[in-house]
Amino acid sequence: MADNSQPHFLFITYPMQSHINPALHFAKHLATTTGATVTFSTTIFAHRRMFSSTPNSDKSFNDGLITYLPFSDGFDEEGYKRATMDLMEYFLLFRTNSKRNVSILLNDLVTGGRPVTCVVYTNLLTWVKDIAGEQGIPLVLYWIQAATVFATYYHFFRGCFESLIMLNLLRELFKILDREQEKMKSRVLINTFQEWEIDALASVCNEVEAIPFGHLPKEYTNSVAGYLFGEDEKKYMEWLDTKEEGSVVYISFGSVSVMKKEQMEEIVKALKESKRPYLWVVRKDNREEELLAIEEGEDEMVVEWCSQVKVLSHRAVGCFVTHCGWNSTLESLVCGVPTVGVPHWTDQAINAKLLVRGLELVMGEGEKSVDIRRKAKMLKDKALEAVTAGTNQDCRRF
C-alpha cells in the first residue's frame, strides 16, 4: 500500500461450489489474520443459495468478518441450466452482464467511501482484468486448482489450442498473464502446498511468481457459509457416531458431476456386495428412484448434501470414494482419509494421479492396507504444516 489506509480486498468468484469454497476460505483467513476489509462477491443466484435461510437473501450481508455483495449475471432466477441453455451463449451473456454490473459495484463502493485496493478473482473470470485496469486497481488471480494443472495449461497455451469454449476461456486467462509479464512477473496464488507439487511450481517459476497457498485449517472449512446446497436434515453425524472407527465408506461426487443411471446402479450393486456401512451423497438433481430402495437400514444412509469436512474428520470414516475435485482432494489430505478416485472431467484425472504419486513419494512400499493409512497420515501432516507455518508469510507476500 502506498499509504497507511486500510486495505480493502474484493473477491470475485464464479458461481460454482468448487470456486466459492476455496475463495471464501481464503477471504476469511485474510480478514482474520490481517484485519483487512474484505468483500466477497458472486452472482445473485449463487448468493441467494448461500444465504437462503436469511431475510432478503439477494441483498448485501455482513457476518461480522466479511461483507457479501452480489452482482447480477443476467441469470438471477435460475442460474445456468445445462439441459436448456447453450454453454457458449451462456458464457457470452454471463460475461457481458457480469462485466457491466461488477463495474457498477466497484463504483458504488467508491461512492460509499469503501474503495477497493485489490481485486482477487478465480478461474474463468478473465473480464475482471478489464474492469480493474480501467479503475487502476491491482489484480491477482487465485487459481483454485492444482499447480500441476496450472503448469499444464500454461505450457499448453504457449503452443497450440483447440476451439472449445472452456479452452478459449483459459487461453484468454493465460494471454492476460503473458501481457502482465511485459511489465513485471505475474503473481498467481495457487490453492496447493509446496511439498506436494514442487516440480509443477518450479516449472513456471521463471515466468510466473506462483505462490502456494495451502488448504486452510478445519475451523474455516467447517463453516456452512458458502454452501449452494442445503444440508440434508438427516442426522448423519449422529449416525456416524454409532459406527466403528474406520468402518464407513463415504461416497460423494461433488456439486456438478452427473452420474448416468447405469453408473448409479453399479454403485448400488457394489455397495450392497461390500457389506460395509456407507454414507452416500446424491444431489437431488442426480437422484434415481431406484435409490429410494437402499436408503433404509442401520448401515446405509443416502443424503442430498452434507458438511464434507465434518464427515471426513469423523473417526468412523475409513475411505472416501470421490470424483477427485480439487477441493475434495485437498480435504481428504487434510483429514487424513484414504481415497478411491473416480475422476469424471476437467482437472480430476490429474488430481487422481497426484493422489497416487503423492502417496508413493511420501512413504514408499510396504504392506498395502497399513501403508495406505500411513501415507494419508503423512500427507495430512504435510498439508497442515504448510498452512500453519507458512500461511501468514504467504499473506504478507500477497
CA 97, CA 89: separation in Å to the nearest integer?
A: 12
Check if the beta carbon of residue 210 is closer than 8 Å to that of residue 186.
no
Cell of residue 6, nine digits: 486500510
159 — alpha (psi -120 to 50), left (phi > 0) or beta? alpha
Inter-CA distances, 290 with 229, 250, 262, 293, 347, Å: 22, 19, 11, 6, 30
**What whole-number distance in Å separates Cα of residue 363 and Cα of residue 383?**
15
8 Å CB contact between 173 and 359: no
Residue 186 burial by Cβ neighbours in a 10 Å radius (0-12, 13-18, 19+): buried
3 state DSSP class of 195: coil
Helix (H, G, I), strand (E, B) or coil at 2: coil
25 is catalytic: no
Q: How far apart (Å, rounded) are the C-alpha atoms in residues 142 and 120?
A: 6
| Spatial distance between the Cα atoms of 27 and 37, rounded to a whole number of angstroms | 10
**DSSP β-bridge partners for residue 62:** 67
Is the CA virtual torsion 357, 358, 359, 361 positive or negative? positive
From residue 213, how far is each of 230, 271, 346, 389 by CA, in Å?
A: 28, 36, 21, 11
Exactly one of 19, 25, 29, 323 is catalytic; name it. 19
Question: Which residues are within 8 A (CB) of 299 and not within 5 positions of it... i.e. 6 or more apart?
Answer: 276, 277, 278
Q: Convert 38-97 into a string of H (helix), E (strand) and C (coil).
A: EEEECEHHHHHHHCCCCCCCCCCEECCCCEECCECCCCCCCCCCCCCCCHHHHHHHHHHH
> Which residues are marked as active site?
19
